[in-house]
Structure 1
Amino acid sequence: MNYWPLLGILLVVLGFALRMNPMLVVTGSAIITGLLGGMDLVKVITTFGKAFNDNRIIAIVWIVLPVIGLLERYGLQQQAARVIRSIKAATVGRLLLLYMLVRQATAAMGLTTVAGQAQTVRPLVAPMALAAAEQQLGEVDEPTAEKVKAYSAATDNVGLFFGEDIFIAIGSIVLIQQTLATYGYNLSPLHLALWAIPSAVAAFLIHGTRLMLLDRKLKLGGK
């Protein structure tokens, strides 16, 4: 057995430890692994091209991110915060609770990419939550601001993680089904999706309670 290709893993670890450019580290390690595995350079590059072509939908992110950057450059965060300041009843907990409901509902329908950390939380949800915190506290110090941002990101994670399993045509459902099948439990995707609903409801109630407790803490001055 040829163990030389495993040097690629060592190169990845070494590159990350030296804080080198991750793209260069991974690409270089992949090329070296291919060469050590007996592939010529042309075949390695061909394999890269085929993988990119088979997964070209990933490249969409390079179109979305510049759009978000331009929107932020022209005041998207400021406008989002202004909208929240105009709603007197808005609080951090209520805002994030509503967002979690929408995130879970859309994820349950298979729309897992309509929101997310980069495209929704950073440019919209977090600024709106911070504006709501300012309405509750008047002035938000850095630790409180970071806590609000963390709750915003966590809300997106909870909504997506426990909502997507309700959709039967999602990778996680297939993984669960195949794993259970290896142990002799033959369950249909629909069966698994239905049993994901109680988990999603429990997650909503538990994290929703945490959001309401956050509201209470901010109402008391963040202490």
Structure 2
Amino acid sequence: MNYWPLLGIALVVIGFALRFNPLFVVVGSALATGLLAGLDFVAVIEALGRAFNDNRYISVTWIILPVIGLLERYGLQQRARAVIESVRGATMGKLLTFYLLFRQLTAALGMKDIGGHPQAVRPLVAPMAEAAAEKSHGRLAEDDREKVLAMSAATDNVGLFFGEDIFFAIASILLIQGVFESYGYPLTPLQLSVWAIPTAICAFIIHSWRIRALDRKLGRAAK
């Protein structure tokens, strides 16, 4: 039996221990493992390319993040603020309530990645909510500004968490189904999804009230 390919594991351990670049360590170890297993260099490269191609959806996130970073560098947040400032009657409460509804509905349809903190909240929702609050209540104190940003992030969390369970083809529903089944309650994913609707409605009502309460609190603080 050829034990030399196991040297790739040692290379991974040593590389991480020495704090080398993780991508360099993993690729180097994969190349070493393939060569020590008797494959030629071209065959190893083909195997790496095939694995990357078959799982290329994983890399989409790492492509999106630098794009968002470039957009922010060139004024995405400023443009988002300018847009909301130009909308008559826009308030932080209305904006975040609308985003909560949008997030829940899209998550309920299985589009849970259409929003999110890095791709939606930080570059768009948070600056728009801050601009709407300042438009209604004047310049915010730093503590109040942080509360607006935190509420923007919380709105995304609540919308996703209580919306996604309405979509029956999702891991959380399968987990809940497995737990109930282990206790002798056989339920279908569709049944669980239907009963997630009242919870989602309650979550929408409660969090909408919290958003409006913060908006009113900012208004009282500005007087």
SS at match of 1:186: coil
1:209, 1:114 → 2: CA distance? 24
Displacement after TM superposition at 1:183 (Å) = 1.6
Alignment TM-score, normalising by the size of structure 1 = 0.77
Q: Deviations over 1:90-111 (max 9, x none)?
A: 1111110000000000000000
2:174, 2:54 → 1: CA distance? 20
Amino acid at match of 1:213: A
SS at match of 1:206: helix
Displacement after TM superposition at 1:56 (Å) = 3.6
Q: Is the 8 A contact 1:144 1:222 kept in 2?
A: no
2:57 aligns with: 57
2:122 aligns with: 122
SS at match of 2:221: coil
1:156 and 2:156 equivalent? yes
Amino acid at match of 1:103: R
2:69 aligns with: 69
Amino acid at match of 1:86: S
Query: Which runs of structure 1 show a deviation greater than 3 angstroms over 4 or more consecutive aligned residues?
Result: 40-43, 49-56
1:203, 1:138 → 2: CA distance? 30
1:89 aligns with: 89
1:205 and 2:188 equivalent? no
2:8 aligns with: none
Q: Is the 8 A contact 1:136 1:218 kept in 2?
A: no
1:103, 1:74 → 2: CA distance? 26
- Where structure 2 has 5 or more consecutive residues not aligned to the other structure, the ranges are 1-12, 27-31, 37-43
Q: Deviations over 1:72-105 (max 9, x none)?
A: 1221111110111112311111110000000000
1:72, 1:157 → 2: CA distance? 22
Q: Deviations over 1:26-70 (max 9, x none)?
A: x98x9xxxxxxxxx9559x9xxx6986765422101111122122
1:51, 1:199 → 2: CA distance? 41
Alignment TM-score, normalising by the size of structure 2 = 0.77
SS at match of 1:173: helix
Instruction: Kindly report which structure 2 residues correspond to 1:1-223, keeping only aligned pairs within 5 A, or say none.
Output: 24=22, 55-221=55-221
- Where structure 1 has 5 or more consecutive residues not aligned to the other structure, the ranges are 1-10, 31-39
Q: Deviations over 1:111-144 (max 9, x none)?
A: 0011110000000000000101111221112111
Measured on the aligned residues, the alpha-carbon RMSD in Å equals 3.1
**Paired-residue identity, %:** 57
Amino acid at match of 1:190: L
Amino acid at match of 1:218: L
